[in-house]
Amino acid sequence: MQPRVKTWLFLMPAGLWFLTMLVLPLVVVFIFSFGERGAAGGYVPAFTLDQYANLPARWAAFRNTLTLAPIGTVVCLLIAYPLAYFLALRTTPKWRTLLLILVIVPFWTSILIRSYAWIFILGGRGLPTLISALGLGDVQLINTPFAVLVGIVYGYLPLMVFPIFVSLERLDKRLLEASSDLGCPPWRSFLNVTLPLSMPGVATGCMLVFILLMGEFLIPAILGGGKVFFVGNALVDLFLQSRNWAYGSAVAVTLVAIMLVTVTAYMRFTRRWAGGRDDVSLM
Amino acid sequence: MGYIHVSMDIDRLEQFTAESPDPDAPAIRIAEMRGATKRYGDVLAADNLNLTIFKGEFLSFLGPSGCGKTTALRMLAGFEEPTSGDILLDGEVVNSVPAHRRPVNMVFQHYALFPHLNVADNISYGLRQQRPKPPKDQIDDAVRQTLETVRMPGFGPRRIWEMSGGQQQRVALARALINQPKLLLLDEPMAALDRKLRRDMQIELQSLQRKLGITFVLVTHDQEEALSMSDRIAIMRGGRIVQIGSPRDLYDRPNSRYVADFVGKSNFIDGVVAEIDGPKIALKTPDGQKLQGMAVGQLAKGDAATISLRPEQCSLARKQPSNTQAGMRLPVKIINRIFLGEHTEYLVKTENFGDFLVLVPRQAETAEGRFEPGDDAWLYWQTSSALVLQAD
């Protein structure tokens, strides 16, 4: 058999999967977004921009997604970096393994169950009771943007910790000695050496968390209680409740477009930031 | 051990002064180790190191891996604090002064260049850490000059990973030199280079050191490297300094079998001190023979000792040499011959003392004729060239 043919044969399953499960649905959604809602719901072929013109009706969903996804990513980063730093550079190997397992363990439980647990913590008989018992007044936590933020930071933290941990662990510790040898005090060595060399991990973590957060719908559904909803929730609502497939498709296409633009801009930015390095751990 | 070396230091001091570019300038003690000891749990990495480093000299720590030479260097750099004893720089105790506040720079074993910075930024790193920061054009000038010093002009904008091992090494050297350190510490800097390149770098490093007058402290396990570059070598073993001296000193007057074996090649005959007559010692070998040699260091009757004999101080003859010709003679059988150009190295088998290496210069070979493997011959040497050393 020709090597070329063989290569194509091996690529076939993945290619077919990619084509039927990703490209085709996207094409279908794109076409649907120009259609109209049938009388009994579903989709009627047409060519109109009405659905896109109607997008502002779902402004709240976009606004929530586009504020809470970046904020969630940043909060994740702010919590994950010190944690990853501690794990990679300040623990003995024995403790490191144990602590890493503790970071992973929550993943073994369904996100659904873990989110429900937060309902009890943030709900009426949880933290708010404690806070009012301490005389700090009545607060509403559940069904607020804050609750959703807590939920997504909690859920996505490991995805941020691991890439940063890996890049910090791979960091050649002799570089820190070299920096110190050249007259650089520890805190400035962190800014001059550790931080720039861990940027690939930071970029990977942010990308991972941000993309997944943009499509999130479970956590806002559970902890936002219908008050704080994401684009994902809007889509569930449009496709399954109001059965307006055309409008839902237009919302979906817009979300994909926003993601493409932000991710591309982000990649451009990080690449420039990295100064053209393909691989910082080259040495 | 420390006391012996104090006297040796003074001895060296004079010699060093005589060799330095300005013979009238007094030798300045730039760094000292006074009983410096480093313990990691139960492991004694450095054991009571006593050493004075003089301004402008090229000093090497030589020893096998795990002998404590790197620990010694790291204590000078400030990466390790001695468990006991003192490290002095310019006469001041700096035991707990961290590395970033010592006017000392290091060339790391694998260079440890910053991969996210280009060559110029790597080299200027040290200057940019100074407070107040030197002006930019001053930094740029210094970088340009240093790049010229290490013969890499125009390499400033290059990326670290675009360069060969030899080039990276020069950058590492430049990054340290630009700070004009009191001590330049080199931790096995040639280990990652191939043989040919290593030789070139050794020569270059040595001439650079002479030219700049910066004090170099090198750590190496390569005796050839240490012998060819250093003014003085500290031979280390098991965390201790066994002997300090010029390469010639160590070669001609090793104070132990270990040093004789580590610096150059040597033949050894073990025995017990039987008679002492001034500097002359008669050693009784296990088979009852008495061999004569010159004592190095203190030996007493009954001590276990070793005769050390350099291959080039042995001679071969076809007929039994007369008493006047030779202090000692042994019948041997030729086992192997290696042609080395100017010399021929013979491996010969003695009856009672194992195999000997004999280095025969070309002239002597012409006179005696060439020996073939299997030939019977006589091995002989002068008593004065046989050193009696303490057994290890």
Shared domain for B245 and B269, answered yes or no, is no
Shared domain for B101 and B234, answered yes or no, is yes
| Cβ neighbours around B86 below 10 Å, total | 14
For residue B319, the model assigns a pLDDT of: 86
- Whether residues B108 and A178 touch (CB distance < 8 A) is answered with yes
Residue A214 neighbours by CB under 8 Å, 6+ apart = A65, A69, A231, A255, A258, A259
Place of tokens 């006047």: B324
For residue B321, the model assigns a pLDDT of: 85
DSSP secondary structure of B7-69: HHHHHHHHHHHHHSSSTTSPPPEEEEEEEEEEEETTEEEEEEEEEEEETT-EEEEE-STTSSH
Shared domain for B225 and B274, answered yes or no, is no
* pLDDT tens-place string over residues A70-127: 999 999 999 999 999 999 999 999 999 999 999 888 888 888 899 899 999 998 788 8
| 3-state SS string for B238-291 | CCEEEEEECHHHHHHCCCEHHHHHHCCCCEEEEEEEEEEECCEEEEECCCCCEE
For residue A275, the model assigns a pLDDT of: 52
Q: In which domain, by residue range, is B176 found?
A: 10-252
For residue A225, the model assigns a pLDDT of: 85
CA distance B189 to B73: 13
CA-CA distances (angstroms) from residue B351 to A76, B292, B328, B334, B348? 79, 18, 14, 12, 10
ipTM over the 0.90 cut-off? no
Residue where one domain finishes, among candidates B252, B280, B304: B252
Q: Where are the domains of chain A?
A: 59-277
Extract the tokens encoding B309: 């004999």
For residue A145, the model assigns a pLDDT of: 93
Q: What is the CATH number of the domain that holds B166?
A: 3.40.50.300
Shared domain for B96 and B229, answered yes or no, is yes
For residue B25, the model assigns a pLDDT of: 60
Residue A183 has its nearest CB partner, among B77, B112, B129, at B129
Residue A197 has its nearest CB partner, among B110, B116, B126, at B116
Residue B100 has its nearest CB partner, among A184, A274, A281, at A184
Question: Do residues B77 and B106 make contact, with C-beta atoms less than 8 angstroms apart?
Answer: yes
Residue A282 has its nearest CB partner, among B106, B161, B175, at B161
CA distance A50 to A52: 5
Does A283 have pLDDT greater than 80? no
Tell me which chain B residue has its CA closest to the CA of residue A196: B116
Question: Do residues B73 and B61 make contact, with C-beta atoms less than 8 angstroms apart?
Answer: yes
Tell me which chain B residue has its CA closest to the CA of residue A274: B116
Inside any domain, residue B86: yes
For residue B117, the model assigns a pLDDT of: 93
- Whether residues A181 and B161 touch (CB distance < 8 A) is answered with no
State the smallest CA–CA distance between residue A174 and chain B in angstroms.
6
- Whether residues B108 and A185 touch (CB distance < 8 A) is answered with no
Inside any domain, residue B164: yes
State the smallest CA–CA distance between residue B108 and chain A in angstroms.
8
Residue A196 has its nearest CB partner, among B77, B116, B179, at B116
B161 interaction partners in chain A (CB closer than 8 Å): 282-283
A169 pLDDT band, cuts 50/70/90, is: very high
Among B303, B267, B265, B268, residue whose Cα is nearest residue B282: B303
Say how many CB pairs under 8 Å bridge A and B.
71
- Successive 10-residue mean pLDDT values, chain B, 392 residues: 38 41 70 95 94 95 93 96 96 94 94 94 95 94 94 93 91 95 94 85 90 94 91 95 94 91 90 89 88 87 91 90 79 92 91 90 81 91 90 78
Among B212, B209, B215, B205, residue whose Cα is nearest residue B184: B215
- Burial of B141-159, coded b for 16+ CB within 10 Å and e otherwise, reads ebbeebbebbebeebbebe
Shared domain for B216 and B332, answered yes or no, is no
- Whether residues B99 and A178 touch (CB distance < 8 A) is answered with no
Shared domain for B269 and B248, answered yes or no, is no
Residue where one domain finishes, among candidates B228, B252, B276: B252
- Burial of A234-244, coded b for 16+ CB within 10 Å and e otherwise, reads bbbbbbeeeeb
Shared domain for B225 and B367, answered yes or no, is no
Does A211 have pLDDT greater than 80? yes
State the smallest CA–CA distance between residue B164 and chain A in angstroms.
12
State the smallest CA–CA distance between residue A193 and chain B in angstroms.
8
Q: Are strands B280-284 and B315-317 parallel, antiparallel or unpaired?
A: unpaired
- Please give the residue that has the higher pLDDT: either A56 or A279: A56
- Whether residues A180 and B99 touch (CB distance < 8 A) is answered with yes
For residue A209, the model assigns a pLDDT of: 95
Among B319, B345, B349, B321, residue whose Cα is nearest residue B334: B349
Q: What is the CATH number of the domain that holds B324?
A: 2.40.50.100
Question: Do residues A220 and A60 make contact, with C-beta atoms less than 8 angstroms apart?
Answer: no
| 3-state SS string for A184-242 | CCHHHHHHHHHHHHHHHHHHHHHHHHHHHHHCCCHHHHHHCCCCCCCHHHHHHHHHHHC
CA distance A237 to A239: 6
Shared domain for B106 and B176, answered yes or no, is yes
CA distance B133 to A184: 12
CA distance B1 to B293: 24
A281 interaction partners in chain B (CB closer than 8 Å): 115
Task: Say how many domains are in chain B.
Answer: 2
Shared domain for B318 and B241, answered yes or no, is no
Shared domain for B72 and B197, answered yes or no, is yes
Does A280 have pLDDT greater than 70? no
For residue B22, the model assigns a pLDDT of: 52
Residue B95 DSSP symbol? T
Shared domain for B128 and B277, answered yes or no, is no
Shared domain for B153 and B300, answered yes or no, is no
Tell me which chain B residue has its CA closest to the CA of residue A197: B116
**Average pLDDT of chain A, as a whole number:** 90
Extract the tokens encoding B295: 């004592």
Classify domain A59-277 at the CATH class level.
Answer: mainly alpha
